[in-house]
Amino acid sequence: MRKLVYYVAVTLDGFIAAEDGTFDGFIFEGDHMAGINAEYPDTLPTQFREALGLLDAPNPNFDTVLMGRNTYQVPGGLASPYAHLRQFVVTSQELDTPDDVELIRENVAGRVRELKEEDGLDIWLCGGGKLAAELLPLIDKLLLKIHPVVFGRGIQLFDGKADITRFKRTDARLFESGVSFMTYERP
């Protein structure tokens, strides 16, 4: 069975984006970028993969990406940000999307369970916080890029009602940039 993996950047105070959905406060330069991008090139937007000469490189971790509407419609975003993956957007609103972006409008947990039952690589939950809170019972693994910054307010890592859920730390890497890359899995 495939895993649902919540892979996301987060601040020290638990925010994945500012109130307006932007993430300019995160660190985009430093030793963590090369290390993380080498291990998770499938999480780079397709246009960045192309610029780095990775467009045709195989995806080592994920073949599917799941995101909420606000994550999909991030300011300055692309109509098909991860064309190298199967793309799903969870929304109750009507959206004009290209053919390679599928909308999930209802029974989100049921659809995610179906995706987990399929053959393939893991499923990347790339945001947002409300969707992560809703899907917490189905999340198997957390990959958190913890940045040494405080936003004070914004979109929470888990934004909404969630039951207490324990995870076990299975890996920790510290970078000179100050970013920590933490891996947690369900025990």
- For residue 79, pLDDT beyond 70: yes
Does residue 128 have a cis peptide bond before it, meaning omega lies within 30 degrees of 0? yes
Which residues on adjacent β-strands are paired with residue 143?
7, 183
Backbone angles phi, psi at 118, to 5 degrees: -70, 160
Measured CA to CA, the distance from residue 143 to residue 139 in angstroms comes to: 11
Residues 152, 9 contacting (CB under 8 angstroms): no
Confidence label for 36 from pLDDT (cuts 50, 70 and 90): confident
The domain limits of the chain are 4-62+151-185
Tens of pLDDT, residue by residue over 150-176, are: 999 999 999 998 889 999 999 999 999
The SS3 assignment for 60 reads coil
Measured CA to CA, the distance from residue 16 to residue 11 in angstroms comes to: 7
Residues 32, 143 contacting (CB under 8 angstroms): no
Please name which of 61, 71, 39 lies closest in space to residue 135, comparing C-alpha atoms. Answer: 71
- For residue 74, pLDDT beyond 90: no
Measured CA to CA, the distance from residue 178 to residue 39 in angstroms comes to: 18
- For residue 75, pLDDT beyond 70: no
pTM assigned to the model = 0.95
Q: Where are the alpha helices (DSSP H) in the chain?
A: 31-39, 46-51, 69-72, 108-117, 129-135
